[in-house]
Amino acid sequence: MTTTNILHTGQAKSVGGRDGQVTSNDNNLNLELTLPKSLGGRAREGATNPEQLFAAGYSACFGGALGFHLRAAKLTPDEIAVDSTVDMFLNEEKLPTLTVSMHVNLPGLTQEQAEDMVAKAHESCPYSRATRGNIDVNITVTTDPV
């Protein structure tokens, strides 16, 4: 890939690892990080962690990809809701590993339409493409009313 192919660049710097701070280069993102109690940390109030940040980024990116495919298909759900959960566990080699579970709700569409759009979004979403073959991503699709 050459630099002429880059569409957008996001940049952030962390200081102090999981119990420090993360800041974007434009300072729009400026968050305190804390190690969750489940990982032996102190879970400082008002602070976040890398898994929450990954869940937020993935759900937003997936929702964007979904919106693209919905517009192309001229489908308009009542809402596009993507709830993403990132779990950390130890794999067989006792190495920390992630898994993602997403619940996508597209009220106003049929179940078949919703599943088709979600499958297309999962193929094109940059986060889905980056994680494919690396971590398990499980997606549940519903069309429950808002």
Q: Is the pLDDT of residue 1 over 90?
A: no
Q: Return the percentage of the chain with pLDDT > 70, whole number.
A: 98
Given a cut of 90, whether residue 3 has pLDDT beyond it is no
User: Model confidence at 57, in pLDDT bands (50, 70, 90)?
Assistant: very high
Give pLDDT tens digits for 22-38.
999 999 999 999 999 99
Distance between CA atoms of residues 97 and 134, nearest Å: 9
In angstroms, rounded to a whole number, what is the distance separating the alpha carbons of residues 85 and 102? 6
Whether residue 105 contacts residue 70, with contact meaning beta carbons closer than 8 Å, is answered with no
Amino acid 74 reads K
Domains present along the chain, CATH in parentheses: 3-39 (2.20.25.10), 50-142 (3.30.300.20)
- CA-nearest of 37, 123, 41, 4 to 137 is 123
| 3 state SS of 50 | helix
Q: Cβ contacts of residue 146 below 8 Å, gap of 6+?
A: 78, 79, 107
pLDDT in tens, 134-144: 999 999 999 99
- The strand order across the sheet containing 81-90 reads 81-90, 96-105, 136-142
8 Å CB contact between 12 and 24: yes
Residue 145, both tokens: 């009313």
Q: What is the mean pLDDT of residues 19-23?
A: 96
Structure confidence at residue 146 (pLDDT): 85
For residues 14 and 19, give the distance between their C-alpha atoms in angstroms, rounded to a whole number.
10
Q: What pTM was computed for the model?
A: 0.93
Residue 93 has pLDDT above 90, yes or no: yes
